[in-house]
């Protein structure tokens, strides 16, 4: 039986994001507290795993309870905006409806019966598998076996991270009994945790039935491996989703919400790492006049208060860009179109590293090619013409690279 630490979890609820919990209605507060309680040991284990893996995991500024609380907050807002646009008929690209009607492999986006409680619960569980000891899949989606023929358990940081969405979904299924008295759909929550990773789940196109079916196959193989090792069996009812396009449509919508919520963290200054150390970017050491992100970060000093200076050049680029992205919202505009708004602290600072962060958000939206969503970027200061030109150049390069798959990006200075 999982070790339930109610006092620790309730403390973390308030410490990590009091305002989020306080603003929830009573039924969702109960979901929030229950999920944090049940996953408390998992996130503590994830912190220990990151502390031991200094070279790879220690500098990630997500995969913590503070992070999943923010994801929950963002995902609920996103689901609300998605729902408004779907009801107005503006969420999905018009030309996709006729195409999908002719293709049995496609599903449209819909609202369905997936409730806020399930989205909240899944958001809070989605990184619970980010710890050593979970299952590992190979490139074909089969469970990897060790030398004795038993399922291999993730130990190095790469295996842990690549498979954490899968192992989060398994944790949801092991907790099924604890949620019987709550209005949550465990099968849906399991799939939302699994599908928050495009690579692990294989659901790269959220409107593709075949992508979802391949994901179900991977999940079923892992459940079989789990049941071979445990007396208390777990299960997941894939037939519900295979036989109900409306449910699968709603699942696709909710999965996009959590994917976008996951990258919508407001990092800002002193972001907390998975190894429990604050990450500080010494802005004066960043070369904002460089011609690319590596140049901006080449001599930048980025410090993790638990493990010391961040050595990886790519990681330094990520932290520079993330910490310039201080606020994210997903809303509906005056034309009832969904837009994802990213607020940057300084438009005249590290534009290439900052735009890397924009590309990360675009990547999640690209997994929903039928959705009609654009990105709006605003800045907390006046942007000089030089940096406006740089941002325009980077946007055009993104458009050229992605072609018709590109997400529309609008800068605040454009009418």
Per-residue pLDDT of the chain (415 residues; tens, 9 = 90+): 444 433 343 344 444 445 677 789 999 999 999 999 999 999 999 999 999 999 899 998 888 889 999 999 999 999 999 999 999 999 999 999 999 999 999 999 999 999 999 999 999 999 999 999 999 999 999 999 999 999 999 999 999 999 999 999 999 999 999 999 999 999 999 999 999 999 999 999 999 999 999 999 999 999 999 999 999 999 999 999 999 999 999 999 999 999 999 999 887 787 889 999 999 999 999 999 999 999 999 999 999 999 999 999 999 999 999 999 999 999 999 999 999 999 999 999 999 999 999 999 999 999 999 999 999 999 999 999 999 999 999 999 999 999 999 999 999 999 6
Would 359 be classed as within a structural domain? yes
Q: What is the pLDDT of residue 16?
A: 46
Residues 248, 299 within the same domain: no
Q: Is 317 left (phi over 0), alpha (psi -120 to 50) or beta?
A: alpha
Whether 176 is covered by a domain: the verdict is: yes
According to DSSP, the β-strands at 308-309 and 301-304 are: antiparallel
Q: CA 24: distance to chain centroid?
A: 21
Task: Say how many domains are in the chain.
Answer: 2
Q: How far is CA 300 from CA 91, 284, 295, 297, 394, in A?
A: 41, 8, 9, 5, 21
Classify residue 375 by its DSSP letter: E
Both 289 and 189 in one domain: the answer is no
Residue 13 lies in a domain: yes
CB burial of residue 138 (10 Å; 0-12, 13-18, 19+)? exposed
User: Under DSSP, is residue 301 helix (H, G, I), strand (E, B) or coil?
Assistant: strand
3-state helix, strand, coil in the chain (%, to 5): 55, 10, 35
Helix (H, G, I), strand (E, B) or coil at 181: coil
Q: Which domain holds residue 246?
A: 6-263
The Cα 202–Cα 216 span in angstroms is 10
| Same domain flag for 380 and 257 | no
| Residue 312 shares a structural domain with residue 347 | yes
159 domain-assigned:
yes
Phi and psi at residue 73, to the nearest 5° = -60, -50
In a domain, 1, yes or no: no
280 plus 183 within the same structural domain? no
Question: Is 342 contained in some domain?
Answer: yes
Going from the C-alpha of 251 to that of each of 127, 149, 200, 240, 364, the distances in angstroms are 19, 35, 17, 11, 15
Residues 101 and 221 occupy one common structural domain: yes
136 and 247 fall within a common domain: yes
Do 343 and 367 lie in one domain? The reply is yes
Q: Are residues 254 and 302 in the same domain?
A: no
First to last CA, the chain: 58
Only one residue has tokens 């996130």, namely: 43
Does 343 fall in a domain?
Answer: yes
11 falls within a domain: yes
What pLDDT, on a 0 to 100 scale, did the predictor assign at position 267?
75
Same domain, 45 and 148: yes
Examine the fold and report which residue of 235, 263, 291 is the final residue of a domain before the chain moves on.
Answer: 263
Looking at residue 4, its pLDDT comes to 42
**E-only strand ranges, 155-246:** none
The residue among 220, 245, 263 that closes a domain is 263
Q: Residue 404: what are its φ and ψ, rounded to 5°?
A: -65, -15
| Sequence-separated contacts (24+) of 25-31 with Cβ below 8 Å | 27/117, 27/183, 28/116, 28/117, 28/120, 30/182, 31/117, 31/120, 31/121, 31/182, 31/184
CA distance linking residue 383 with residue 226, whole number of Å: 54
- 255 and 276 in a common domain: no
Identify the domain boundary among 230, 263, 296: 263
C-alpha distance from residue 287 to each of 47, 268, 355 (Å): 32, 19, 15
Bridge partners for 308 per DSSP: 304
Q: Which of 313, 179, 308, 193 has its CA nearest to residue 254?
A: 193
* Residue-level pLDDT at 266: 84
Q: Are residues 335 and 302 in the same domain?
A: yes
């Amino acid at each position: 039986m999982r070790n339930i630490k109610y006092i620790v979890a309730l403390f973390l609820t308030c410490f990590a994001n009091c305002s989020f919990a306080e603003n929830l209605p009573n039924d969702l507060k109960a979901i929030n507290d229950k999920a944090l309680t049940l996953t408390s040991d998992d996130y503590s284990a994830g912190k220990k795993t990151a502390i031991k893996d200094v070279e790879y995991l220690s500098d990630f500024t997500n995969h913590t309870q503070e992070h999943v609380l923010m994801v929950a907050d963002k995902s609920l807002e996103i689901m609300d905006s998605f729902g408004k646009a779907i009801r107005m008929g503006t969420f999905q690209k018009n030309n996709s409806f006729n195409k999908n009607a002719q293709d049995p492999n496609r599903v449209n986006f819909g609202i369905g019966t997936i409730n806020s409680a399930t989205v909240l619960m899944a958001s809070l569980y989605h990184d619970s598998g980010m710890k050593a000891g979970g299952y590992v899949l190979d490139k074909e989606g089969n469970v990897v076996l060790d030398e004795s023929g038993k399922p291999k358990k993730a130990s190095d940081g790469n295996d842990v991270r690549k498979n954490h969405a899968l192992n989060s979904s398994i944790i949801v299924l092991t907790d099924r009994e604890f949620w019987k008295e709550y209005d949550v759909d465990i099968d849906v929550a399991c799939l939302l945790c699994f599908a928050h990773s495009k690579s692990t789940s294989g659901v790269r196109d959220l409107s593709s039935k075949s992508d979802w079916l391949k994901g179900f196959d991977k999940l079923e193989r892992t459940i079989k491996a789990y049941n071979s090792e445990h007396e208390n069996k777990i299960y997941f009812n894939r037939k519900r989703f295979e036989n109900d396009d409306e449910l699968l449509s709603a699942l696709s919508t909710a999965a996009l919400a959590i994917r976008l919520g996951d990258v919508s963290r407001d990092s800002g200054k002193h972001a907390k790492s998975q190894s429990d150390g604050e990450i500080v970017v010494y802005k004066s050491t960043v070369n904002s006049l460089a011609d690319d992100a590596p140049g901006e970060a080449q001599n930048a000093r980025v410090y993790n208060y638990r493990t010391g200076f961040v050595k990886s050049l790519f990681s330094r680029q990520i932290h520079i860009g993330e910490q310039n992205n201080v606020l994210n919202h997903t809303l509906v505009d005056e034309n009832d179109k969904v837009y994802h708004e990213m607020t940057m602290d300084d438009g005249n600072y590290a534009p290439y590293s900052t735009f890397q962060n924009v590309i990360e958000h675009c990547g999640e939206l690209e997994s929903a090619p039928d959705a009609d969503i654009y990105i709006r970027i605003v800045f907390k200061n006046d942007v000089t013409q030089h940096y406006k030109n740089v941002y325009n150049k980077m946007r055009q390069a993104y458009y050229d690279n992605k072609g018709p798959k590109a997400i529309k990006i609008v800068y605040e200075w454009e009418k």
